Structure 1
Amino acid sequence: MALVENIQSNEARISEAMPGDYFALLKPRVMSLVVFTAFVGMMLAPGSINPLIALIAILAIAVGGGASGALNMWYDADIDAVMTRTKKRPIPAGRIAGGEALAFGLVLSVFSVLTLGTLTNWVAGGLLAFTIFFYAVIYTMWLKRSTPQNIVIGGAAGAFPPMIGWAAVTGGISLESVVLFLIIFLWTPPHFWALALFKLRDYDMAKVPMLPNVAGERHTKLQIVAYSLVLAVVAVSPWPLGLAGPVYGAVSILLGLNFLRHAIAVWRMPDGDATMVPAKKLFGFSLVYLASLFSVLLGEALVMKVLAG
């Protein structure tokens, strides 16, 4: 309660936040994933782009991703204040006023979209604008508090960056960029539901209807296995589509089987398990999984560009 009162009292004054507090508003860990996957999409796209323009485009996408994070933290300050993993964020901790975070997020949103659209094309700029809107409004303001399917639908926001990177080069959307989108989209539910299993009490206290809180652990575990199976299949598809080579094909198969092994371990975990070790292992491996897939895609793309001269 004291944390919530602290947030409200800070609305009436100008905060004395440090630069690091504003950087924290950008959700740098999430932003790093946005930057990396957007860059991979850019490198995989056919055609070429001026290196300086590419750098500015990646920075614009990063700023847009960060703006989404700031708007999310502004709206979710009440939830963040009661959850152990988020209560030290700048707004609930009282280091930044909510109004400042809102203004910061809006300014960065406009700046990032205008920069990307002007320097590359308005397909990419429009996708970035839609991504920010989807995450801040559709997911944060609507889905997160209203449905246990919040992370399924809302996960689309985190899946757009490689498509934006692709569009920045090509000016359009293709089947290949949709596949990159689908890999992240399908990865998101098992990743976050694993987290929700061992942070169930936090979400319950915050009254966020995550799947384990609403449908129970058994149903959540079954959904994790189902999504993991579909993900393992879809993640191999860049190989037969010609977007990736046999190295990626072999790595994606091995990683997919390992992901599925972790998911099955979660499914076999007794309901109410106090340790939640399998869920924690799946959550940790899911980060390695996605980073590894996109790293191999990037490595193959760079090799092909070098060989092509």
Structure 2
Amino acid sequence: MPAIEMSNPAALPADWRDILALTKPRVMSLVVFTGLCGMLAAPVTPPLALGFTAILCIALGAGACGALNQWYEVDVDAKMRRTAKRPLPAGRMDRDVALQFGVGLGAFSVLLMGLATNWLAAVLLAVSILFYVLVYTVWLKPRTAQNIVIGGAAGAFPPLIGWVAATGRVDVLPLLLFVIVFLWTPPHFWALSLFVRSDYAAAGIPMLPVVAGPQNTRRQIFAYSLVMTAAALAPWPMALAGPIYGISAAILSLVFVVLAARVMGNRSTEPAQMGPEKHLFAYSVFYLFALFMVLVVDRFLA
């Protein structure tokens, strides 16, 4: 879409749904949930108003990441069927508006977090936003097949931020939660990227399935699922969580590994619509929700 068309207000029938789409609400929901669980798992529960404000700041920060990601990748999104109908590539919104919205939302979320909770949580939120936008979106994603591995750190910050917002300090358990999300991201995202490999190839994005091929990607999915399982189980033997969490994590992770093994065993060059990759991707979302939920349940029933 030529820049002159995208900056023409007469050609921009944007509404509130386009503003919402800029924030990537489906991604935001998982970010908010893990942030909330990190807060609830902490030994100190903040007052309701402050807790709500902290989670709101995490949500706003995630929304800022989504908006700035779409502002920067508008040309890439226009080349992919999965993203071509987003507000910017579809021409329903001015690109400058998306930039101003993203920067404003991010700055406001960090400032409000610092004023409402503590400045350590605000710094971590700022680092997560800058890491996602500058390190992942601008630097890693267009240059290396390991983009989602390193860039996954951005999505691993919320439980740590939630914990720090409640306690004002960094402890071992939230660091483990960070590691779990960090290790969960590659198998989760690669399962999806196997499905949309042709989109990434058309857009010139060096995702692992494009660069290394489906079989290598499937092997790495399985390898990461094993390491992720070890991290997910670690809080129990380290006495940071009880048996409710430990047993649940073992069962949930076993299912994850079995599904990853099925992905690794698939020899198809083009994943089927309801094949093992799709099953793993769907389960991986449930897995993270369930794992963090049982951690909170374990904390309150211990």
TM class by smaller structure: over 0.9
- Is 1:289 matched up with 2:258? no
Q: CA deviation at 1:9?
A: 1.0
- Is 1:124 matched up with 2:117? no
- Looking at structure 2, the residues matched to 218 and 225 of structure 1 have their Cα atoms a distance apart, in angstroms, of 11
Match in the other structure for 2:48 = 51
Answer with 32-41 or 145-154: which moved more.
Answer: 32-41
Match in the other structure for 2:6 = 10
Q: CA deviation at 1:13?
A: 3.2
Q: CA deviation at 1:271?
A: 4.1
Q: CA deviation at 1:241?
A: 2.6
- 1:134-155 Cα shifts (integer Å, max 9, x gaps): 0111100110000000000000
- Is 1:99 matched up with 2:96? yes
Aligned partners of 2:41 and 2:163 also within 8 Å:
yes
- Looking at structure 1, the residues matched to 21 and 238 of structure 2 have their Cα atoms a distance apart, in angstroms, of 39
SS of 2:141's equivalent? helix
- 1:12-37 Cα shifts (integer Å, max 9, x gaps): 43744211110111110111111111
Match in the other structure for 1:214 = 211
Aligned partners of 1:163 and 1:178 also within 8 Å:
yes
- 1:161-206 Cα shifts (integer Å, max 9, x gaps): 0000011111121111110001100000001111111111011001
Aligned AA (2:291): L
Q: CA deviation at 1:303?
A: 3.4
Superposed, which structure 2 residues align to 1:81-230 within 5 Å? Answer: 81-230=78-227
- 1:263-296 Cα shifts (integer Å, max 9, x gaps): 1111111141452611111111111111110111
What TM-score does the superposition give when structure 2 sets the normalisation length? 0.96
Give the direction of change, closer, same or farther, for the CA distance of 1:129–1:274 in structure 2 (3 Å limit). Answer: closer
Match in the other structure for 1:64 = 61
Provide structure 1 residue ranges, at least 5 long, that are not aligned to the other structure.
Answer: 305-309
Answer with 48-57 or 60-69: which moved more.
Answer: 48-57
Q: CA deviation at 1:301?
A: 2.5
Provide structure 2 residue ranges, at least 5 long, that are not aligned to the other structure.
Answer: none
SS of 1:84's equivalent? coil
Q: CA deviation at 1:93?
A: 1.4
- Looking at structure 1, the residues matched to 29 and 123 of structure 2 have their Cα atoms a distance apart, in angstroms, of 21
Segments of 4+ moved more than 4 angstroms: none
Give the direction of change, closer, same or farther, for the CA distance of 1:170–1:273 in structure 2 (3 Å limit). Answer: same
Q: 2:267 aligns with which of 270, 274, 280?
A: 270
- Is 1:27 matched up with 2:17? no
- Looking at structure 1, the residues matched to 30 and 200 of structure 2 have their Cα atoms a distance apart, in angstroms, of 24
Match in the other structure for 2:228 = 231
- Looking at structure 2, the residues matched to 205 and 182 of structure 1 have their Cα atoms a distance apart, in angstroms, of 32
SS of 2:235's equivalent? coil
Identity in percent: 51
- 1:102-136 Cα shifts (integer Å, max 9, x gaps): 00000001100000011111110000000000011
Q: CA deviation at 1:60?
A: 1.0
What TM-score does the superposition give when structure 1 sets the normalisation length? 0.94
